[in-house]
Amino acid sequence: MKLLIKNVRAVDNGLDEITDILIDNGKITRMGTDIVEICDGREDRVIDATGLTAMPGLFDMHVHFRDPGQTHKEDIRSGCQAALAGGVTGVLTMPNTKPPIDSPELVQYELNKAKNTGVTLYPVACITKGMDGGALTDFAALRSAGAAALSDDGRPVKNAELMRQAIEKASKLGMLVCSHCEDLDIINGGIMHKGSVSEELGVKGMDRASEDYITAREIVLASAVGGRVHICHVSTKGCVDIIREAKRLGVQVTCETAPHYFMLTHEKLRSRDANDRMNPPLREESDRAAIESAVLDGTIDCIVTDHAPHSPQEKMNFELAPNGIVGLETSLAATLTALFHTGKMSLQDVVQRMSIRPREILGITPETLKVGAPANLILVDTERKWTVEPEKLHSKSHNTAFRGMELTGKVKITITDGRIRFEES
């Protein structure tokens, strides 16, 4: 099957030009402005992409697909469908499933279920057995089975010495440790950011010190053993300051954030809607501004989603609902709306934060728009305005904090291995 994409704006690292792209046998075979319409087979297709932008497929290095164990919320196949609708062609899946991903067999289960979805899935395995904070898992066996990283995401590794050992051991094996930075004693049952809004609502808050403290701890531990650590879902100004200084000092630390942390604040929770609750929580304007600045200056390496599906029934009660929101289908649009259309970030920088850098951190070859490269790319209408309607999302769950918001930028087509895997109807 051949695909000829005509008159598209191709954006990649060091590339921003109008061109045609010919795809044949799963690869990009030609690029230029003089490609004639040589698609003549029954399955061949010519796409007039005038006004659209081609980008390498995005990579989300923080998703929860709830599979195995909670597939009423999401499963690997529905999660991959949601990813493709958001232009995401690769995902890093967190291990807090039921049971947790702490064995080679469960790693293989995830990999097998993701076959033929059009999305490349990279499993994260647990740091500790059963994710209970006790004994370390067999890192080498998990790596051999296909685990791409290690984490107990959803909760921290409480014992600092155990985390030190984990970072040291993982680094020797060439594996990345991703840390959920939260001190459970400081949190003490809090359900949203500790501040003026939590006080007004009369609910227990989550102090910034929880995230800042464990972030600092992980950086000290990584520095002590000369290892690498990746800080998940950064949400506070203090965390940004700590990471920025650690990078200046040469510590091997990388980090991520999600669009809701640079777009929304705890003010949104005044409506007492549990679809605005996640962990870490939406914080104050000073934190939001600091997160945005850190994304723009590169202190924050990646934009992810922390895609965390929950059923409508689970989200009915504001105070008792589990934390988490879905985000795969809104992440690019939200980033374009908040950072590109405001003139704060170029499209090349969006590609860097959402496609190139996360793959680099994991040691994965980045997707690219070059002749000879695998045809894993997306076509985006960067000017398309649309309103987020939860019931139209491809995820099994519709718990989005962006419900009812108008965003600018829409994925039209997602292509992996030269095949159209998603096309907006």
Q: What is the pLDDT of residues 20-33, one digit of tens each?
A: 999 999 999 999 99
* CATH code (residue 113): 3.20.20.140
**Tokens read off for 137:** 């898992």
| Token pair 């009369």 in the structure block, residue | 202
Residue 5: strand pairing partners:
21, 47
Mean pLDDT of 94-109: 98
Question: Which of 361, 381, 412 is at the close of a domain?
Answer: 361
Catalytic hit among 20, 212, 306, 381: 306
- Tell me whether residue 366 is in a domain: no
Residues 46 and 183 placed together within one structural domain of the fold: no
Question: Which of 310, 342, 361 is at the close of a domain?
Answer: 361
* Residue 56: closest CA among 351, 339, 334: 351
Q: What is the pLDDT of residues 121-171, one digit of tens each?
A: 999 999 999 999 999 999 999 999 999 999 999 999 999 999 999 999 999
Number of domains forming the structure of the chain: 2
What is the model's pLDDT at position 126? 98
Residues 216 and 179 placed together within one structural domain of the fold: yes
Query: Which amino acid is present at 334?
Result: A
> Domain containing 409: what range?
2-54+372-423
Question: Which of 330, 361, 392 is at the close of a domain?
Answer: 361
- Tell me whether residue 217 is in a domain: yes
Residues 218 and 109 placed together within one structural domain of the fold: yes
Residues 222 and 277 placed together within one structural domain of the fold: yes
Residues 38 and 179 placed together within one structural domain of the fold: no
Q: What is the pLDDT of residues 285-307, one digit of tens each?
A: 999 999 999 999 999 999 999 99
pLDDT surpasses 90 at 114:
yes
What is the model's pLDDT at position 37? 72
Alpha-carbon distance of 196 to 168, in angstroms, equals 40
What is the model's pLDDT at position 38? 73
- Tell me whether residue 201 is in a domain: yes
pLDDT surpasses 70 at 39:
no
What is the model's pLDDT at position 34? 83
pLDDT surpasses 70 at 212:
yes
- Tell me whether residue 367 is in a domain: no
**Quick count: other Cβ atoms within 10 Å of Cβ 370?**
14
pLDDT surpasses 80 at 43:
no
Q: Which helix (H) or strand (E) holds 240?
A: helix 237-248
Residues 31 and 139 placed together within one structural domain of the fold: no
pLDDT surpasses 70 at 280:
yes
Mean pLDDT of 188-217: 98
* CATH code (residue 45): 2.30.40.10
Catalytic (active site) residue 306: yes
What distance, in Å, lies between the first and last C-alpha atoms of the chain? 21
Mean pLDDT of 221-249: 98
The residue ranking higher by pLDDT, 58 or 1, is 58
Q: What is the pLDDT of residues 379-411, one digit of tens each?
A: 999 999 999 999 999 999 999 999 999 999 999
Residues 77 and 205 placed together within one structural domain of the fold: yes
CB 167 within 8 A of CB 197: no
- Tell me whether residue 270 is in a domain: yes
Residues 41 and 118 placed together within one structural domain of the fold: no
**E strand intervals along 308-401:** 377-387
Mean pLDDT of 8-22: 97
What is the model's pLDDT at position 36? 79
Residues 207 and 327 placed together within one structural domain of the fold: yes
Residues 128 and 7 placed together within one structural domain of the fold: no
Q: Is the peptide bond prior to 281 cis by the omega test (within 30 degrees of 0)? A: no
Residues 282 and 312 placed together within one structural domain of the fold: yes
What is the model's pLDDT at position 366? 97
Residues 104 and 248 placed together within one structural domain of the fold: yes
Indicate the average pLDDT of the chain. 97
- Tell me whether residue 96 is in a domain: yes
Q: Which helix (H) or strand (E) holds 406?
A: strand 406-416
Q: Which helix (H) or strand (E) holds 161?
A: helix 160-172
